[in-house]
């Protein structure tokens, strides 16, 4: 009760502080909402963004080896990890531009990376099993991935980071995300499946209908662990743990696109209060993402028709949240500026 009263009073103070800035009330729109939200998360009237960081989790999916749900070969996941390391991907460009820390994680890519490669080596296995005919992973593997995600965030938090976003790379992972969405939201798989990286939609949809029936996704309301076991990816499982740890540390969480939001759905199913700490960076052009956001009653900051993943949306929203904090901290009030309110 004491915390509730404190937060209620803090909210009132933050609203009043924003309203007293030299502007018409509400004229800075979402920036005002973001400043208040970040102040509540950090429990302060002077919110700040410290050492923002993006973590990209990479993992392979057994079903991708069949080519039924993806136009690109599974090897592209490995190739993209090297591209991240060399600084050539979109997330590298945006992270460098906006001075954001970037970590790449091998959550379960189907290759053996050299130990000296400057990534976080956290592989659970060399890709999941083909969930068309099997469980994607064991319960032990799902829990291990979640715990590794938590540990990675803990280590980043210890560097003084208070703002974190997550991205992913994994050929075929939009299929896993669509299946998770379908089960959590209890909507038909047809409403969840998009092109991903450019797949043949009808073939992808027919394949996922078979997965849907094999794992009885329509008739069972599975727990997050059970869903990850059946149809998850190691990168999605690790990201789920990362979301949960970021929330437990009181961090501002930046939620990226379709796949990241699928992992967030699992974290939200575990701890619904996590939504209070989340800024939903953008609405992906991927089919289904807007329905995920509606389910969470979430309002994305950006609408850029992006569907790349990699945490790119999370990186692009960082200058906006920095602007919100600068507004509440540095903008003059009517009183300090000697302007009549």
Question: Cα 235 from chain centroid?
Answer: 11
Please, are residues 193 and 68 in contact by the beta-carbon 8 Å criterion?
no
Q: Tell which wins on pLDDT, 235 or 334.
A: 235
* Active centre residues (catalytic): 310
Residue 201: which pLDDT band, with cuts at 50, 70 and 90?
confident
- Conformational region of residue 108, where left means phi above 0, alpha means psi within -120 to 50, and beta covers everything else: left
Q: Phi/psi at 134 (nearest 5 deg)? A: -155, 175
Q: Which two tokens stand for residue 36?
A: 């208040």
Measured distance CA(190)–CA(230) in Å, rounded: 19
Give the DSSP per-residue string, 178-230: HHHHHHHHT--GGGT---TTT--HHHHHHHHHHHHHHTTTTT----HHHHHHH
Kindly state the average pLDDT of the residues 201-208: 90
- In this structure, the dihedral spanned by the alpha carbons of residues 88, 91, 92 and 93, taken in order and rounded to 10 degrees, is 90
Helices (H), the chain: 2-19, 30-42, 75-86, 90-97, 139-157, 173-185, 201-214, 224-231, 234-248, 258-270, 289-295, 312-330, 334-337
Measured distance CA(248)–CA(340) in Å, rounded: 43
Measured distance CA(59)–CA(197) in Å, rounded: 15
Whether residue 195 is predicted with pLDDT greater than 70 in this model: the reply is no
List the 252-255 sheet strands across, edge first.
120-121, 101-108, 53-59, 163-169, 252-255, 278-280
- Condensed to tens digits (0 to 9), the pLDDT of residues 119-130 reads 999 999 999 999
Among candidate residues 108, 63, 77, 67, the one with its CA nearest the CA of residue 215: 63
Kindly state the average pLDDT of the residues 317-327: 98
**Three-state DSSP state, 81:** helix
Measured distance CA(315)–CA(304) in Å, rounded: 13
Domains of the chain, earliest start first: 2-48+326-337 (1.10.1610.10), 53-322 (3.40.50.10210)
Please, are residues 128 and 211 in contact by the beta-carbon 8 Å criterion?
no
Whether residue 324 is predicted with pLDDT greater than 60 in this model: the reply is yes
Please, are residues 277 and 255 in contact by the beta-carbon 8 Å criterion?
no
- Condensed to tens digits (0 to 9), the pLDDT of residues 102-116 reads 999 999 999 999 999
The rounded percent of the chain whose pLDDT value lies above 90 is 88
- What's the Cα-to-Cα distance from 278 to each of 16, 67, 151, 242, rounded to whole Å? 23, 35, 20, 13
Across the chain, mean pLDDT equals 95
* Range of lowest pLDDT (56-70, 144-158, 196-210): 196-210
Whether residue 3 is predicted with pLDDT greater than 60 in this model: the reply is yes
Whether residue 321 is predicted with pLDDT greater than 90 in this model: the reply is yes
pTM tops 0.85 = yes
Whether residue 181 is predicted with pLDDT greater than 80 in this model: the reply is yes
pLDDT for the residue 218: 82
Helices 312-330 and 30-42: angle between axes, nearest 10 degrees: 90
Among candidate residues 123, 75, 87, 139, the one with its CA nearest the CA of residue 235: 123
Q: Tell which wins on pLDDT, 161 or 339.
A: 161
Measured distance CA(32)–CA(15) in Å, rounded: 8
Q: Which two tokens stand for residue 188?
A: 């038909």
Q: Enter the DSSP assignment of 137.
A: S
Whether residue 196 is predicted with pLDDT greater than 70 in this model: the reply is no
Measured distance CA(109)–CA(119) in Å, rounded: 12
Kindly state the average pLDDT of the residues 73-92: 97
Measured at the CA of 283, the angle between CA 304 and CA 170, to 5 degrees, comes to 95
């Amino acid at each position: 009760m004491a915390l509730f009263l404190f937060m209620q009073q803090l909210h009132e103070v933050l609203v009043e502080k924003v309203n007293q800035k030299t502007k018409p009330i509400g004229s800075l729109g979402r920036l005002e909402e973001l400043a208040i939200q970040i102040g509540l998360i950090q429990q302060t009237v002077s919110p700040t963004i410290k050492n923002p960081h993006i973590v990209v989790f990479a993992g392979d999916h057994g079903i991708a080896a069949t080519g039924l749900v993806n136009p690109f070969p599974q090897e592209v996941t490995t190739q993209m990890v090297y591209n991240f390391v060399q600084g050539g991907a979109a997330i590298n460009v945006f992270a460098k531009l906006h001075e954001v820390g970037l970590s790449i994680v091998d959550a379960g890519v189907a290759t053996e990376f050299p130990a000296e490669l400057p990534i976080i080596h956290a592989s659970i296995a060399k890709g999941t099993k083909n969930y068309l005919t099997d469980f994607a992973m064991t319960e032990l593997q799902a829990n291990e991935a979640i715990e590794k995600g938590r540990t990675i965030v803990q280590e980043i938090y210890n560097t003084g980071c208070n703002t974190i976003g997550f991205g992913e790379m994994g050929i075929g992972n939009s299929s896993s995300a669509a299946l998770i969405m379908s089960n959590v939201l209890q909507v038909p798989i047809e409403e969840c499946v998009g092109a991903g990286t450019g797949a043949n939609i009808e073939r992808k949809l027919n394949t996922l209908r078979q997965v849907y029936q094999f794992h009885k996704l329509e008739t069972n309301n599975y727990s997050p662990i059970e869903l990850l076991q059946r149809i998850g990816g190691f990168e999605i499982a690790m990201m789920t743990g990362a979301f949960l740890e970021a929330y437990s540390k009181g961090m501002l969480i930046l939620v990226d696109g379709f796949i990241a939001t699928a992992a967030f759905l699992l974290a939200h199913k575990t701890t619904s209060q996590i939504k209070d700490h989340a800024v939903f960076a953008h609405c992906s052009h991927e089919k289904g993402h807007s329905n995920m956001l509606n389910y969470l009653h979430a309002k994305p900051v950006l609408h850029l028709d992006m569907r790349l993943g990699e945490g790119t949306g999370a990186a692009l929203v960082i200058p906006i949240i920095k602007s919100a904090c600068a507004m509440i901290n540095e903008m003059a009030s009517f009183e300090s500026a000697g302007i009549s309110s």
